[in-house]
């Protein structure tokens, strides 16, 4: 009978009537009284939180009103999104603490230095907690709860004394563009008489949905790579304040309840101390008590993990802080049916608010313990460094100074000191050149984070991962790197770098009115320069053979020649346009006085004229939006190349002759239809270049647009009995969630131009195994016979990957289809394989048909 009453009570609590009038009392306990001079969200917005989904501009409006009214709150803008929306940070504490903030920050910085920390008394230090809401835009209970949390902390009378000992950094909307996109969708489709039908339009967003930022990136995977303005601004604030507690508010499937960490114990990163997990479990008890009071269901330790350091709840764990993930079952819109009864939007907001307040309670209660833990964390890190045989990491690229710069730039954003190599040094037959290599000493506070960036790990306690299992940064950039012992470290002549690293400059070397101008393709931004010159109307050509000029300078295959077209007028200043094109690229262009060059002459048939890429990127329908966004971002932000975002259902109607390159990210292409497929086939036959990734190759093969074949073999099924309880673990172990592999690249193939080492790394997520083409010239990138470089892969899958295809080229009439098994643009930080993709765009047109039949 008691169980029945509890169940009925839970249904009542969960099934908050869709048409009931929401009041502030629903969210906030009567244990508190509030300062009437502080405006509530309803006072400013004109509606109660939860009645509508708050838009980002409304969040900004309320937070500014709150800061103006409360002496507990200051507000600052720390970044702007791609759509130019401000990202705000509220600092909330006792009014008397604001004058002390410089000293508090100084104390926290000293905590990271084990020697200085000995003189820091943590007993009286305030705790700092960072609260980050809705990094995924279509997980809206977080951003809406932030309004109520900010109000509570600004206005509740009973917490005045507690705020003397806690500083709250409240980040109400981590993803402004995604939040606004989602709020617009659900508000536009809200009925005043709601049904909660999961098939309804309100609950089924249009592609690409609101989870991601402007370029469709998951910002909760960008804490370590920091490739987007939202992340760069946020990480700068995290490193400025060095919080003890970092809270990360999310949503999950409607058919669940509420999750808070700790997650699955066996899936934590080994560099994270055991004490971190103990503190997480202790904090969990505060959440449990408060959620019990309002009758909410919850669970811990059965899902999610703390392995990848690029997530919001894991990034703090390697820096002396505790990260906490919250996952609320989503209403997705305003009301949705669930196995537990209707899930209302206000109900989801209340759970997130409750977790916000319980976190504050934990920070107040555990302040001294958390400050002591941070102090001990860095003292232990110093001790680990002392016993570590490796004392530094060195990385560099002899031929690509810019790519090396971008890795150094990424690292310094995490409060890590980086040193520039001032004199050439050769280590184990690998040459690192002055000004083209950097050293990262391990003898600094961020020792564990540096290890997490550079380590190579292939053995794991668990075989299941919520995200990637490897992210070794120099591998992602395909740079030479190695660990240094103390002897070699002492031999290196270095100079400490400023945090604002100078970008390598480009230049034009030689006189005006030269016979031609040439630049090599190995620099990262060479495609950007080539496109600018093509766009200006100049003749841009690529050489398929080496040539050298009188002074002995050799230009390798893949080098670019620039001149005016035959018969072109003298209008336009080529030299000035060259100088403009190389700005901010690191590319050096050389004047050539004569076409009578060594190797091949400059009029050789081995030199092809390039067409300006006119690119369509297929989107919408079943296309993977994150991967499409990676391509869009790469072209639009990195290379300044226009691209048309072409919806699948427009292919049948569009004039495809506007394009010479069509890009197909992985996904389901059914929405293109038969007419669209036939049209694409005709276009390819007539000379177009298709670049396809992953499942797009399967679709192309089925529609006879190129030939790709795949190894479908799986492990033999075990006949008999296996424990049902192990099923999910056994199946999950076969998933390749993200690991790094060794491949061999044909440097003479146009896809390989600009690379100087045939051995390189690729990132793989998934188990698509491509068979090699029977035409051996059509396999420019192949997995090695010992492919695993870093991360986890199921043994049976690893065996099938050996000597399989990485990139394969197929001829269709006069056109080419270039197929990628792996994503060369993964999360915008895999700089090392971007050039393979750009080569497909620029040089796919030049690949011999004989090599791909």
pLDDT digits (tens, 9 = 90+) for 356-408: 999 999 999 999 999 999 999 999 999 999 999 999 999 999 889 999 999 99
Give the whole-number percent of the chain exceeding pLDDT 70. Answer: 96
**What is the SS3 string spanning 482-493?**
EEECHHHHHHCC
Task: Of 188-197, 480-489, 740-749, give the lowest mean pLDDT range.
Answer: 480-489
Three-point CA angle 835, 838, 840, nearest 5°: 110
Task: Of 153-162, 293-302, 634-643, give the lowest mean pLDDT range.
Answer: 293-302
Is the bond preceding residue 444 a cis peptide, omega within 30 degrees? no
Residue 712 has pLDDT above 70, yes or no: yes
Q: Which pLDDT band holds residue 729 (cuts at 50, 70, 90)?
A: confident
Q: Which pLDDT band holds residue 715 (cuts at 50, 70, 90)?
A: low
Whole-angstrom distance, CA of residue 41 vs CA of residue 45: 6
* Contact call for residues 662 and 618 (beta carbons, < 8 A): yes
Q: Facing residues of 762 across strands?
A: 741
| pLDDT at position 11 | 41
| pLDDT at position 418 | 95
Q: What is the pLDDT of residues 682-691, one digit of tens each?
A: 999 999 999 9
Q: What is the pLDDT of residues 550-601, one digit of tens each?
A: 877 899 999 999 998 875 655 469 999 999 999 999 999 999 999 999 999 9
Whole-angstrom distance, CA of residue 63 vs CA of residue 61: 6
Residue 731 has pLDDT above 60, yes or no: yes
| pLDDT at position 10 | 44
Residue 13 has pLDDT above 50, yes or no: no
**How far are the Cα atoms of 321, 464, 481, 698, 743 from residue 767, in angstroms, in the given order?**
36, 15, 28, 13, 16
| pLDDT at position 12 | 42
Whole-angstrom distance, CA of residue 91 vs CA of residue 70: 11
Q: Which domains does the chain have, with CATH numbers?
A: 34-382 (3.40.630.10), 388-496 (no CATH), 507-609 (3.30.70), 615-711+734-851 (3.40.50.880)
| pLDDT at position 565 | 80
Per-residue pLDDT averaged across 803-824, rounded? 97
- Per-residue tokens: 750: 């146009």
| pLDDT at position 20 | 59
| pLDDT at position 14 | 45
User: Which SS3 state, helix, strand or coil, does residue 744 take?
Assistant: strand
| pLDDT at position 267 | 77
Q: What is the mean pLDDT of the chain?
A: 93
């Amino acid at each position: 009978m008691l169980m029945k009453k509890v169940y009925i009570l839970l249904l009542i609590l969960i099934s908050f009537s869709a048409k009931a009038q929401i009041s502030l009392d629903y969210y906030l306990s009567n244990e508190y009284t509030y300062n009437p001079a502080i405006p509530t969200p309803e006072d400013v917005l004109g509606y109660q939180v939860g009645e509508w989904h708050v838009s980002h501009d409304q969040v900004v409006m309320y937070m500014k009103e709150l800061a103006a009214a409360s002496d507990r709150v200051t507000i600052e803008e720390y970044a702007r999104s791609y759509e130019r929306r401000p990202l705000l940070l509220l600092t909330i504490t006792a009014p008397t603490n604001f004058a002390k903030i410089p000293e508090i920050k100084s104390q926290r910085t000293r905590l990271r230095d084990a020697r200085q920390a000995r003189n820091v008394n943590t007993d009286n230090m305030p705790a700092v907690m960072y609260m980050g809401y809705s990094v995924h835009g279509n997980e809206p209970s977080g951003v809406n709860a932030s309004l109520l949390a900010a109000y509570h902390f600004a206005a509740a009378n009973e917490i005045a004394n507690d705020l003397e000992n806690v500083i709250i950094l409240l980040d109400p909307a981590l993803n402004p563009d995604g939040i606004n996109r989602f709020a617009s969708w659900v508000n536009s489709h809200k009925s005043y008489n709601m049904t909660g039908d999961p098939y309804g339009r309100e609950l089924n967003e249009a592609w690409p949905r609101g989870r991601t930022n402007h370029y469709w990136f998951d910002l909760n995977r960008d804490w370590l790579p920091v490739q987007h303005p939202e992340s760069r601004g946020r990480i700068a604030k995290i490193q400025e304040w060095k919080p003890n507690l970092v809270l990360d508010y999310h949503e999950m499937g409607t058919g669940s309840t509420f999750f808070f960490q700790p997650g699955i114990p066996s899936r934590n990163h080994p560099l994270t101390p055991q004490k971190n997990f103990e503190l997480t479990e202790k904090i969990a008890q505060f959440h449990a008590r408060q959620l019990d009071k309002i009758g909410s269901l919850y669970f811990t330790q059965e899902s999610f993990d703390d392995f990848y350091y690029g997530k919001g709840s894991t990034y703090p764990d390697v820096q002396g802080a505790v990260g906490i993930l919250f996952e609320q079952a989503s209403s997705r819109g305003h009301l949705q049916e669930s196995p537990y009864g209707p899930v209302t939007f206000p109900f989801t907001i209340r759970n997130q608010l409750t977790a916000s307040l319980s976190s504050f309670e934990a920070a107040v209660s555990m302040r001294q313990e958390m400050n002591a833990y941070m102090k001990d964390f860095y003292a232990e890190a110093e001790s680990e460094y002392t016993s570590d045989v490796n004392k530094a990491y060195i990385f560099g690229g002899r031929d690509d100074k810019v790519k090396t710069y971008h890795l150094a730039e990424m690292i310094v954003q995490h409060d890590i000191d980086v040193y520039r190599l001032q004199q050439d040094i050769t280590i184990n037959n690998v040459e690192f050149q002055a000004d083209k290599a950097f050293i990262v000493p391990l003898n600094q506070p961020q020792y564990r984070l540096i290890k997490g960036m550079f380590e190579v790990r292939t053995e794991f306690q668990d075989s299941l991962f919520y995200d990637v299992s490897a992210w070794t940064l120099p591998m992602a950039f395909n740079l030479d790197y190695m660990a240094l012992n103390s002897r070699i470290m002492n031999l290196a002549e270095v100079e400490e770098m400023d945090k604002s690293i100078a970008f390598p400059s480009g230049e034009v070397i030689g006189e005006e009115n030269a016979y031609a101008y040439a630049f090599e393709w190995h620099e990262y931004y060479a495609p950007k320069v080539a496109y600018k010159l093509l766009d200006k109307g100049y003749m841009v050509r690529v050489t398929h053979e080496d040539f050298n000029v009188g002074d002995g300078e050799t230009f390798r295959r893949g080098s670019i020649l620039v001149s005016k077209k035959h018969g072109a007028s003298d209008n336009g200043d080529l030299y000035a346009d060259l100088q403009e094109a190389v700005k901010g690229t690191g590319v050096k262009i050389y004047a050539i006085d004569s076409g009578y060059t060594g190797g091949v002459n400059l009029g050789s048939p081995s030199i092809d004229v390039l067409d300006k890429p006119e690119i369509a990127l297929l989107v919408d329908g079943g296309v993977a939006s994150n991967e499409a966004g990676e391509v869009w971002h790469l072209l639009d932000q990195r290379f300044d190349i226009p691209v048309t975002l072409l919806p699948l259902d427009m292919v049948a109607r569009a004039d495809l002759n506007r394009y010479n390159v069509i890009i197909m990210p992985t996904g389901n292409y059914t929405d293109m239809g038969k007419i669209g497929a036939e049209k694409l086939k005709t276009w390819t036959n007539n000379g177009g270049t298709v670049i396809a990734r992953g499942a797009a190759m399967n679709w192309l093969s089925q529609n006879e647009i190129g030939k790709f074949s795949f190894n479908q073999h799986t492990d033999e099924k075990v006949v008999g009995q296996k424990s049902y309880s192990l099923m999910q673990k056994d199946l999950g172990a076969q998933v390749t969630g993200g690991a790094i592999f060794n491949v061999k690249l044909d440097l003479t193939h146009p896809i390989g131009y600009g690379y100087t080492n045939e051995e390189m790394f690729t990132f793989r997520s998934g188990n698509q195994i491509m068979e090699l083409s029977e035409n051996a010239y059509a396999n420019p990138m192949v997995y090695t016979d010992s492919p695993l470089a870093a991360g986890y892969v199921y043994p049976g899958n690893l065996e099938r990957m050996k000597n399989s295809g990485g990139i394969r080229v197929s001829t269709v009439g006069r056109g080419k289809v270039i197929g990628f098994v792996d994503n060369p643009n993964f999360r915008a930080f895999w700089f090392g394989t971007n050039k393979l993709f750009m080569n497909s765009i620029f040089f796919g047109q030049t690949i011999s048909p004989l090599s791909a039949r």
